[in-house]
Amino acid sequence: MVQLIFRKFEELGTLNAVLQYLVTHHIQIGVRVLSGPTKGDLEWHRPNRATLQNLLRHPTYAGAYAYGRRQVDPRKKKAGRPHTGRVVKPCEEWLVLIKDHHPAYISWEKYQQNIAQLKSNQNRSNEQGHPRQGVGLLCGLLVCGRCGGRMAVQYSHGQDHHRYICAREKVDYGGEICQHLSGACLDEYVVDQVLQALEPAALELSLAAARHLEEDRLELDKVWHQRLERAQFETDRARRHYQLVEPENRLVARQLAQEWEAKLQAQQQLQEDYERFCCEKPKQLSPDQQQQIRRLAQDLPALWSVPTTTQAQRKEIIRQVIDKIIVTVEGTSEQVQVMIEWSGGFSCQAQIIRPVAKWTQLSYYPQLCERLEQLVEANLTTDEIVDCLHQEGFRPPKRRQTFTREIVQTLIRHLGLRPRPLPKAREPLSEHEWWLPELAVTLGMPTVTLYNWVRRGWVKARQQPTSPKHWIIWADEIELERLRTHRQRPVGDILRQRWKGKVPTIAIPPE
Ligand SMILES: [Zn+2]
């Protein structure tokens, strides 16, 4: 199996391709258990990036013995964490290297070629994948709401388009992409939120909140001091009790000594807790600094958009106010849940719309189809259908905001919807009955509007009992007059009356 991996790397040239190959062929990797009760056993794991990389980089497969591959770089060491700062050194800097130490899978030359290949892959992906001045404002802040992994930014068409993608499962295990969304829509939303949060009014609120926090802390500090005093008092008392006891009463003395020690320990613990409380104290801004921030807030929206402001500066501002953004795409639909965690602990949640490629991805696709079918059956023209869909708030997929005749016609054809020719299907009408489109012409109003009146129950209408279910409206001379008057009233008027819950002034004509 090790042979296979080396052969495949030579053939395919990248870790990703090897990983993909192993996953496609359901090949597992054998790993020796290093600790625990089953130590030394061979276990079979699904292939992952880290294991493959380790295999390709490790000199033992080239028959070499090496010591000191990983050395501590003092610059990368973090204070208080003993295991940080270890870096893998190039082979010239290893402390010990004995070639031809044991039987090898690959030659030393091959090993060095592989290392060089890995390095050049890495450089290439650095150049392509992470332009420093990239448009992806939010990289590093995004967390996948599905799996908790970090989301990365990916560019296409140079740097013009970017998307955010959760690909941990794909990169590490050759699995599927977890979720992705267009970068522009998320950037736009977050920038909007950031600018709102930094508006002068919002800023005053957070400055006030900081003051409240300070007052709260003063209160807490008082409570702490009372607790510390009580602890001091109790320790003193225990000490006095111990000192007063006669040395002959050994048992009592031992008991009191223990009590004194317990009190001392409790007091010390409390003191440490208090010191921690003091360390966690949030930074206070001086009045000068506050004034400076207020001035900046006034200018920020203008500064944000001028060309001299770099993308790096914008990123920096966003990072100052936001800790984390959790993104969850609902299924494969256009709906995305976004949770922003602001620095300072406050968080807010919203739903945004991402562009999707297919009609069927739209969360309202079933409703849209149903509505379209109704509109086609009602014999509306394509233009009328377009108007109607816009009025009802439907949007097509991709980045489009509006429907066009072509889009609607394509969708109608795709769904196999066909308006039937009117005359054949029509049933004979009774007295004072009208077909909806004809009445619309008589009243001089758009068919869509009349159709909306039907839906709102503002006219007396029925549907033809047999399919196609065309609308038939009842209107005698008086009703016609009423509808004409109704038509001249502003829509806002009519809606307002309904809004107040009043009985509509339009009377339904008697049977
Ligand atoms: Zn994920």
CA of 123 to the centre of ligand 1 (A): 25
Check whether 502 has a pLDDT greater than 60. no
Q: Which of 239, 271, 303 is the last residue of a domain?
A: 271
CA of 353 to the centre of ligand 1 (A): 19
Question: How far apart are the C-alpha atoms of 433 and 454, rounded to whole Å?
Answer: 14
DSSP string, 419-471: PPPHHHHPPPP-TTEEEHHHHHHHHTS-HHHHHHHHHHT-S-EEE-SSSS--E
CA of 148 to the centre of ligand 1 (A): 6
CA of 146 to the centre of ligand 1 (A): 5
Which of 281, 286, 285, 283 has the alpha carbon at shortest distance from 220?
Answer: 281
Which of 200, 420, 364, 224 has the alpha carbon at shortest distance from 296?
Answer: 200
CA of 19 to the centre of ligand 1 (A): 19
CA of 97 to the centre of ligand 1 (A): 41
Quote the pLDDT of residue 509: 43
Sign of CA dihedral 409, 411, 416, 418: negative
CA of 395 to the centre of ligand 1 (A): 28
Structure token digits, residue 439: 């009445």
Question: How far apart are the C-alpha atoms of 383 and 408, rounded to whole Å?
Answer: 9
CA of 157 to the centre of ligand 1 (A): 24
176 part of a folded domain? no
CA of 343 to the centre of ligand 1 (A): 23
Confirm if 165 and 149 have CB atoms less than 8 A apart: no
What's phi and psi for 463, nearest 5 deg?
-100, 145
Could you tell me if 122 and 231 lie in one domain?
Answer: no
Quote the pLDDT of residue 503: 41
| Confidence tier at 392 by pLDDT (50, 70, 90) | confident
Chain position carrying tokens 């006219």? 459
310 part of a folded domain? no
CA of 293 to the centre of ligand 1 (A): 37
79 part of a folded domain? no
CA of 457 to the centre of ligand 1 (A): 48
Confirm if 138 and 150 have CB atoms less than 8 A apart: no
Q: Map residue 106 onto helix, strand or coil.
A: coil
Check whether 271 has a pLDDT greater than 90. yes
In which domain, by residue range, is 37 found? 2-64+99-129
What's phi and psi for 427, nearest 5 deg?
-95, 160
Quote the pLDDT of residue 35: 80
Question: How far apart are the C-alpha atoms of 387 and 447, rounded to whole Å?
Answer: 11
Question: How far apart are the C-alpha atoms of 204 and 201, rounded to whole Å?
Answer: 5
How many percent of the chain have pLDDT more than 70? 90
How many percent of the chain have pLDDT more than 90? 16
CA of 135 to the centre of ligand 1 (A): 22
251 part of a folded domain? yes
Cα distance between the two ends of the chain: 86
One-letter amino acid of 35: S
Question: How far apart are the C-alpha atoms of 347 and 367, rounded to whole Å?
Answer: 33
Quote the pLDDT of residue 397: 87
Could you tell me if 7 and 116 lie in one domain?
Answer: yes
Could you tell me if 23 and 125 lie in one domain?
Answer: yes
Could you tell me if 18 and 113 lie in one domain?
Answer: yes
Paired with 164 in beta bridges are 153, 181
Question: How far apart are the C-alpha atoms of 511 and 507, rounded to whole Å?
Answer: 12
CA of 351 to the centre of ligand 1 (A): 18
212 part of a folded domain? yes
Check whether 419 has a pLDDT greater than 70. no
Segment 181-199 mean pLDDT = 89
Q: Which of 271, 291, 306 is the last residue of a domain?
A: 271
Report whether the peptide linkage leading into residue 490 is cis, meaning its omega lies within 30 degrees of zero.
Answer: no
Quote the pLDDT of residue 305: 84
Structure token digits, residue 17: 């391709």
CA of 169 to the centre of ligand 1 (A): 8
CA of 176 to the centre of ligand 1 (A): 10
Segment 32-50 mean pLDDT = 82
One-letter amino acid of 161: H
CA of 202 to the centre of ligand 1 (A): 33
Task: Report the domain count for the chain.
Answer: 3
Report whether the peptide linkage leading into residue 200 is cis, meaning its omega lies within 30 degrees of zero.
Answer: no
Could you tell me if 119 and 223 lie in one domain?
Answer: no
What CATH number has the domain bearing residue 435?
1.10.1660
CA of 189 to the centre of ligand 1 (A): 21
CA of 303 to the centre of ligand 1 (A): 35
Give burial (CB, 10 Å; 0-12/13-18/19+) of 179. Answer: buried
CA of 348 to the centre of ligand 1 (A): 20
In degrees, rounded to 5, the angle at the alpha carbon of residue 450 between the alpha carbons of residues 446 and 455 is 140
Kindly report the average pLDDT of the chain as a whole number.
Answer: 83
What's phi and psi for 462, nearest 5 deg?
-140, 160
CA of 149 to the centre of ligand 1 (A): 5
509 part of a folded domain? yes
Quote the pLDDT of residue 126: 59
Q: What is the largest CA-CA distance in the chain?
A: 122
CA of 165 to the centre of ligand 1 (A): 8
Question: How far apart are the C-alpha atoms of 449 and 388, rounded to whole Å?
Answer: 9
Check whether 454 has a pLDDT greater than 80. yes
Structure token digits, residue 10: 């030579």
Q: Map residue 149 onto helix, strand or coil.
A: coil
CA of 150 to the centre of ligand 1 (A): 8
402 part of a folded domain? no
Question: How far apart are the C-alpha atoms of 345 and 193, rounded to whole Å?
Answer: 16
CA of 140 to the centre of ligand 1 (A): 14
185, 186, 192, 197 alpha-carbon torsion, rounded to 10°: 170
Check whether 179 has a pLDDT greater than 60. yes
CA of 125 to the centre of ligand 1 (A): 21
CA of 328 to the centre of ligand 1 (A): 9
Q: For 284-326, write each residue's pLDDT tens digit.
A: 777 888 888 788 788 888 888 888 888 888 888 888 889 999 9
Question: How far apart are the C-alpha atoms of 408 and 372, rounded to whole Å?
Answer: 9
CA of 415 to the centre of ligand 1 (A): 34
497 or 242: which carries more pLDDT confidence? 242
Check whether 282 has a pLDDT greater than 50. yes
Q: Which of 224, 249, 271 is the last residue of a domain?
A: 271
| Confidence tier at 123 by pLDDT (50, 70, 90) | confident
Could you tell me if 112 and 220 lie in one domain?
Answer: no
Could you tell me if 125 and 35 lie in one domain?
Answer: yes
57 part of a folded domain? yes
CA of 187 to the centre of ligand 1 (A): 19
Structure token digits, residue 73: 């770089």
Q: For 334-390, write each residue's pLDDT tens digit.
A: 999 999 998 877 889 999 989 888 888 898 999 999 999 888 888 888 888 999 899
Could you tell me if 109 and 215 lie in one domain?
Answer: no
Confirm if 111 and 59 have CB atoms less than 8 A apart: yes
CA of 60 to the centre of ligand 1 (A): 35
Q: For 78-107, write each residue's pLDDT tens digit.
A: 766 777 778 888 888 888 888 888 888 888
One-letter amino acid of 171: V
